Chain A
Amino acid sequence: MLTILRKELVDYFTSIRCLVLFILVFIASAAAIYGAYYGIREASIDPGPVFIKLFTTGEDLPSLVVFIAMLVPIIGVALGFDAINGERSSGTLNRILSQPIYRDSVINGKFLAGIITLAIMIGAIILIVGGYGLRMIGVPPTAEEIIRIFIYFISAVIYGAFWMGLAILFSVLFRSLAVSLLFPMAIWILLGIPASVFNPYISFFVPAVSNSVSVQLMLMRLSPYFLFEEAYWVLLIPAWRGYGLLTTTTSSMLPNPLSLDQSLLIVWPQLTALIAITAVCFAISYVVFMRQEIRST
C-alpha cells in the first residue's frame, strides 16, 4: 500500500489539477490577507484575541474561513472524482489489481494520499495567512489561539475528506467521469443553499417540523455544510453565538467569550458527526469496490 500511496502522491503533486488548486489556494490566501488587514484595523479596539481575527475578518471581501469553507469541497471533489473510474477507463485498474496486492490497498492508498494532499493545501493557506498576518499586525498568537487554529485545521481536513469520500463513492458507482464529477458538485450546491429556502417545502410536507426550532436544527445538522460552519465559528470566534447555541437551554449559562475547553465541548459533536458521515461515504465506496466487477469492457 505504501507503493500506491507514494505513487498517488506523486501523481497529485505533478498534475495540472493540483497546480490549479494551488493557484486557487494562493488567490484565496491573498484575498483573505487583504481583507483581514483592513478589517482588523477597525476591529482592533475590540477586546479578546487578535491573531485569530486574521482568519475571521474581512472588509468587503469574505474572510478566510469563508474562503476555506468554499474551497475545501472543491479541492476534495477535484481530488476524488476520478479516483476509481479514471483508472478503470484508462485500463490501469485491472493491470494493478492483477498484481499481488490487496484490492483495498488501492482505494485506501488513494484516500490517504488525498487526505495528505488536502492537509498540505489547507495547511499552506493557514500558514501563509498566519505568517503574513503576524508581520502585519505584530501580535503573536497565544497558545490558546494556536490550539484553536490547529483544531480548526483538523476539522477543515475532515470536511475536505468528506467531499473527497463522496466523490470517490461516485467514482466507484459510475463509470463516467462526467457523472462522478457532477453528482458531488450538485450535492455541494444543494447543501450550500440556505436552509431557510427549504422551510416552506418542509413545512408543507411535515407541518409539525417547521414550528419546532430544534427539529429544524436537527435536520440542518445532517448537512456537512452546516456542521462545518458551526464548528469553525465556535472554534474561531469564541464570542460567537448563533444557530443552535442560542436555543440550547444552557446558552444563558455560558460565559462570553467561551473558553477553549468549552468551545471544544460544543464542537465535539459536530466533529464526530463529520467524521461519521465521511466514514460512511468511505465505507460504502470500500464495500462496493471490493465486490465490484473490475472488467472495463
Chain B
Amino acid sequence: MGKKIVVKTEGLTKKYDGVTVVDNLNLQVAENEVFGLLGPNGAGKTTTILMLLGLTEPASGTAQVYGFDSTREPLKVKRLAGYLPEKVGFYDTLTARENLRFITELNNIGYAESEPLIEQVLKSVGLGEVGDKTVNKFSRGMKQRLGIADVLVKKPKVAFLDEPTAGLDPEGINQIIDLIANLPKTGTTVVFSSHRLYEVQRVCHSIGILSKGKMVVEGSLDEVGRDALAEGRYRIEVETAEPSPQLVKVIKKIKGVRKVEAEGKVLRITADSDLRAEISKAVVQSGMALIQVKIQEFSLDDIYMKYFHEG
C-alpha cells in the first residue's frame, strides 16, 4: 500500500471481570483515511476506542497512535487525537462557546487563534446561531453537534468518533457525514463507529466489523465485499443488445474469467480481477452492441447481514 499507518493495535485485549470484551484485536488505519468500526451492540467498539485513547488500560497487547503507545504515552496521543464520546456531556451553565474555549485552553491554543477557530467550527456543525446559548438549553442533537465541534476545535490528527450521528436529524446526518468525509483533506484521519451502514458506506475508505470483541473482517470496502459475497472474486455484469452463446464462449476464453452466466440480455461474469476493459473489447470485437458494463458494488447491508446471519 505504501500508506503510512497511523492507528494500530497489536493483540489488543480487554477483560472486564474476567470476561473478554475485546479479543486479540489487530487493526490498522492508514493516514488520511476514514475508517468505520461496525458491529452489533456490545461488540467492543467503544472499548476499543477508549483503549486507543489511553482512557482504559488493555489487559494485554498494544494500541498506538502515530507511533505513540496509548497506555504509556497517553498525553502524546491525546495531543494528536480528538474524541467524541458515546454519551457526550458539557458544562450546562456555560455557553457552547465557553465550553469550546475551555477545550482550547486545555490544549494550549492561544486566545488569538482560538476565537476565530471556535467561530468557524461552530458554524461548520450548524451551531453558528446559538454559540452564546448555555448548553442546558440545547437539545440532544444540538449537544451531539457541539460534541463534534469539540473534537474539531483542537484540530486533531486523528479523530475518534463514537457514533457521531446518533440523535441527529436527517439533514444533520448529511451535514456531519459530509464534514467527516472532508476531514482527510485537512489532514485528519477518522476512526468512527456507527450502526448506520449506509453512512459508513458513503464515507469510509475501509471498515472493520467487530463481533464479540473479535475482528470478523477488515479491509477496504470492496475488498470486504468481495470476500463476503463473491468468494473474493469480481462480479461483472455486461449488458448487450442480444447475447449469443458464441459471445459467452469468447468471454470464457479471456484469462481470469471463471464463470459466465446468461440471464436475458445480461451476462454475469465472475472473474479473478477487474476485467471490464478486456470484456468490453471482446464484446465489441465480436460485433455485438455493448449497452453497459458494470462491476458489482457491494452493499454494506448485504455484507453485514451475511456475517451476522451465519455467525
Contacts and interface: CB of A to CB of B under 8 A. Distances in A.
B127 to A, nearest CB: 17
A295 B46 contact: yes
Contact of A95 (B76, B83, B92): B83
Interface string B135-155: 000000000000100100010
B78 interface: yes
A295 B56 contact: yes
Contacts of A94: 55, 83, 85
A63 B147 CA distance: 51
Taking residues whose C-beta sits less than 8 angstroms from the other chain, chain A's interface range is: 20 to 34
Contacts of B105: 3
A128 to B, nearest CB: 28
B75 interface: yes
A91 B106 contact: no
B150 to A, nearest CB: 7
B75 A102 contact: yes
A276 interface: no
A100 B90 contact: no
Nearest to B88: A91
Contacts of A101: 75, 78, 106
A35 to B, nearest CB: 37
B198 interface: no
A11 interface: yes
Contact of B89 (A7, A15, A92): A92
A101 B88 CA distance: 19
Contacts of A15: 93
Given A100-B79, A101-B106, A295-B50, A95 B89 contact: yes
Given A14-B93, A100-B107, A297 B87 contact: yes
Interface string A79-114: 000000000001110111111111000000000000
A101 B106 CA distance: 7
Contacts of B228: none
A92 B88 CA distance: 7
Interface string A126-161: 000000000000000000000000000000000000
Contacts of B106: 3-4, 96, 99-101
Given A95-B150, A100-B107, A297-B46, A7 B55 contact: no
Nearest 3 A/B pairs, CB to CB: A91-B89, A98-B83, A100-B79
11 contacts: A3-B105, A90-B91, A91-B85, A94-B55, A94-B85, A98-B55, A98-B82, A99-B154, A101-B78, A102-B75, A296-B85
Interface of A: 3-4, 7, 11, 14-15, 90-92, 94-102, 293-297
